[in-house]
Amino acid sequence: MSDISTGIGVSETFISDLGLAQSPARSTMGCGNKQRNWKVFETLYYRLLKLYERVMENQNNRQIIEEIKDQNIKRIDSTTISLCLSMFDWAKFRTAKGGLKIHTCWDDNLQIPDLINITEAKIHDRYGLGQLIFPKNTIIVEDRAYFDFALMLNRIKAENTFVTRIKTNTLYETIEELDLPDDIDQDIIKDEIIKLTSSQAEKTKISICKLRLVSVYKEDENKVIQIITNNLNWTARTIADLYKKRWNIELFFKAIKQNLQIKTFFRD
């Protein structure tokens, strides 16, 4: 606020254009913010996103997947930040440990978050964001913390495409095993059309939907991951590369934890 006050004060023309008689003092702005509803800042953030989205889309260095280069991609994840429970008694997590969780929806075109919700650390990822259904043709990439039959079915009805990890104990039946190219994409070891067969899948009626299951070998971790999606037409390479895009949101979390010196939290 000191910087803002000083910055406005360097130009009498700027002060006049803002309709002010003089540059506001830091204390004046502080008193105003104390009474200001948080929705003011939410509205401002979304207006700035709208104003600068074209610039951000043209100037970022995001990885382009040719098959889906013009589509809207959202990546959803969360990260936990530990807090001292004696200092932040509202951030209860475990018996002797405090924390908060940052639930984030990352816009791949803009390369920044367009939705964030901060909760107590004990809130499960699945319930951390109010918005998990998106406009038609949105692609949603997330980890298996969001693997939920009812959510998957609602997204299919909304014509969203989800790409996520399947849980290891999930029951399914292979309907068809798709051919893989012989000379490329050697990390992709299986591509299947499946249907879910558990009693819970039948109860939610997700069992009637055909899904895709792509198994990918990760050499750096020496393990196989299984990626499930409701898209039956993309190449297996596109599905694997889409899930790999999750790494960008992890880098965002890493930057927050390593670079921002956040020492105080305010709440209404």
Segment 77-90, tens digit of pLDDT: 999 888 877 777 77
Q: What is the pLDDT of residue 263?
A: 60
| pLDDT score for 112 | 86
**Residue (of 252, 255, 250, 244) closest to 63 by Cα position:** 244
**Which two tokens mark 197?**
């067969």
Does the structure show a pLDDT above 80 at 60? no
Residue 46 lies in a domain: yes
Residues 209 and 77: their CA atoms lie apart, in Å, by 25
214 forms beta bridges with 191, 227
Q: Report how many domains make up the chain.
A: 1
Question: Is residue 26 in a domain?
Answer: no
Contacts of 104 (CB under 8 A, 6+ apart): 76, 77, 78, 79, 113, 115, 116, 249, 252, 253
Q: Which of the pair, 88 or 22, is modelled with greater confidence?
A: 22
* CATH number, position 244: 3.90.350
Domain assignment present for residue 4? The answer is no
| Residue (of 235, 193, 238, 243) closest to 218 by Cα position | 243
Q: Provide the whole-model pTM.
A: 0.81
- pLDDT for residue 254: 86
Is 126 within a domain?
Answer: yes
Asked whether residue 233 is assigned to any structural domain, the reply reads: yes
Which candidate, 262, 204, 191, places its Cα nearest to that of 232?
191
Mean pLDDT of the chain: 88
Band (pLDDT 50/70/90 cuts) for residue 178 is very high
Q: Model confidence at 3, in pLDDT bands (50, 70, 90)? A: confident
Query: So what's the pLDDT on residue 49?
Result: 85
Sign of CA dihedral 183, 184, 185, 186: positive
pLDDT over 70, % of the chain = 97
Given a cut of 80, whether residue 262 has pLDDT beyond it is no
So what's the pLDDT on residue 229?
98
Q: Establish if 6 belongs to a structural domain.
A: no
> For 197-245, how does the pLDDT look when each residue is reduced to its tens digit (9 = 90+)?
999 999 999 999 999 999 999 988 899 999 999 999 999 999 999 998 8
Question: Is residue 142 over pLDDT 90?
Answer: yes
CB count in 10 Å sphere of residue 98: 20
User: How would residue 150 be classed by pLDDT, with cut points 50, 70 and 90?
Assistant: very high
Contact 240, 227 (CB under 8 A): yes
Is there a domain that residue 10 lies in?
Answer: no
Q: Give the integer Cα–Cα distance in Å for 242 and 7.
A: 43
Sign of CA dihedral 190, 195, 197, 200: positive
User: Which tokens sit at 104?
Assistant: 């984030």
Q: What is the mean pLDDT of residues 186-203?
A: 96
Confidence of residue 264 (pLDDT cuts 50, 70, 90): low
CA distance 53 to 59: 10
- Asked if the structure places residue 19 within a domain, the reply is no
| Domain containing residue 168 | 37-259
Q: What is the pLDDT of residue 267?
A: 56
Q: Which two tokens stand for residue 250?
A: 């992890």
List Cα–Cα distances, 80 to 11, 93, 122, 135, 260, in angstroms.
Answer: 43, 10, 9, 28, 15
pLDDT at 266 over 70: no
